[in-house]
Amino acid sequence: MKQVISVILLINLIAVIGCSDDETGGNTPGFDRKAMLEDLADNVIIPAYDTLNKEVITLDEAVNAFVATPDLSNLNAARNAFQVAYHAWQRSSFWEFGPAFDVLLMSSVNSFPADYISIDNNIVTGSYDFNTISGQDEKGFPAVGYLLYGISDTDQGIVDMFTVDGDASNRKDYLKAVALDIRTRVSEVATGWSAAGGDYKSVFINNDGTDVGSSVGLMVNELNKFVERETRDGKIGIPLGKRSQGIPIPAEVEAGYSDLSISLASENLKALYNFYMGIGVSGDKVSFYDYLTTINAQYNGGLLSDAIKLQFERAMKEVGEIPSPYKETVEVNPTPAEEAYTELQKLVVMLKADMPSALGVLITYQDNDGD
Partner 1 sequence: MLNGWVDSQYLMPRFFFSYYGFEWIKPLGEVGIYAMFIVMAITALCVMAGAFYRVSSSVFFLAFTYVELIDKTNYLNHYYFVSLVSLAMIFLPAHRHFSIDVWRKPSLNVSKVPYWCILVIQLQLALVYFYAGVAKLNYDWLVEALPLRMWLPPNAHVPVVGSLFEKVWVAYFFSWFGAIYDLTIPFFLFYKRTRSYAYVAVIAFHIITWLLFPIGMFPFIMILSTTIFFSPDFHQGLINKLRVVLQRMGIYRGSTPKEYDVTTASRWVVSFFTLFLIVQVLLPWRFTLYPGKLFWTEQGFRFSWRVMLMEKAGYVIFHVKDPETGRQWEAYAHDHLTPMQEKQMSTQPDMILQYAHFLEQEYIKQGINDPEIRAEAYVTLNGSGSRLFIDPEVDLTKEQDGFKHKKWILSYKN
Name the site residues for partner 1 (rule: CB under 8 A).
2, 5, 9, 12-13, 16-17, 20-21, 24, 26-31, 33, 208-211, 228-229, 237, 241-247, 295, 297-301, 304, 307, 345, 348-350, 352-354, 356-360, 362-371
Q: Residue 101 Cβ, how far from partner 1 at the closest point, in Å?
A: 16
> Which CB, 159 or 216, lies closer to partner 1?
216
- Written as one letter, the residue type at 6 is S
Q: How far is the CB of 222 from partner 1 (least distance, A)?
A: 13
Please identify, using beta-carbon distances, which residue of 17 and 281 lies nearer to partner 1.
17
Quick one: CA torsion of 239, 242, 244, 249, rounded to 10 degrees?
A: 20
Per the CB < 8 A criterion, the answer to whether 363 and 356 are in contact is: yes
Is the Cβ–Cβ distance between 313 and 321 less than 8 Å?
no
| Minimum CB distance to partner 1, residue 36 (Å) | 13
Report the residue number, 88 or 359, with the smaller CB distance to partner 1.
359
Q: Cα dist. 169→121, 123, 135, 138, 156 in Å?
A: 14, 9, 21, 18, 17
| Residue number, 131 or 245, with CB nearest to partner 1 | 245
31 neighbors 297 (Cβ within 8 angstroms): no
Smaller CB distance to partner 1: residue 157 or 360? 360
Q: How many CB atoms lie under 10 A from the CB of residue 368?
A: 9
Distance CA 41, CA 20 (A): 39
What minimum distance in Å lies between the beta carbon of 6 and partner 1? Answer: 10
How far apart are CB 15 and partner 1 at their closest, in Å?
10
Task: Select from 8, 22, 27, 28 the least CA-distant residue to 359.
Answer: 28
Dihedral sign from CA coordinates of 148, 154, 160, 161? negative
| Measured distance CA(19)–CA(366) in Å, rounded | 40
User: Shortest gap between Cβ of 13 and partner 1 (angstroms)?
Assistant: 5
- Of 203 and 363, which has the nearer Cβ to partner 1? 363
Among the listed residues 183, 227, 170, the one whose alpha carbon sits nearest the alpha carbon of residue 356 = 227
Q: How far is the CB of 240 from partner 1 (least distance, A)?
A: 9
Residue (166 or 301) nearer to partner 1, CB:
301
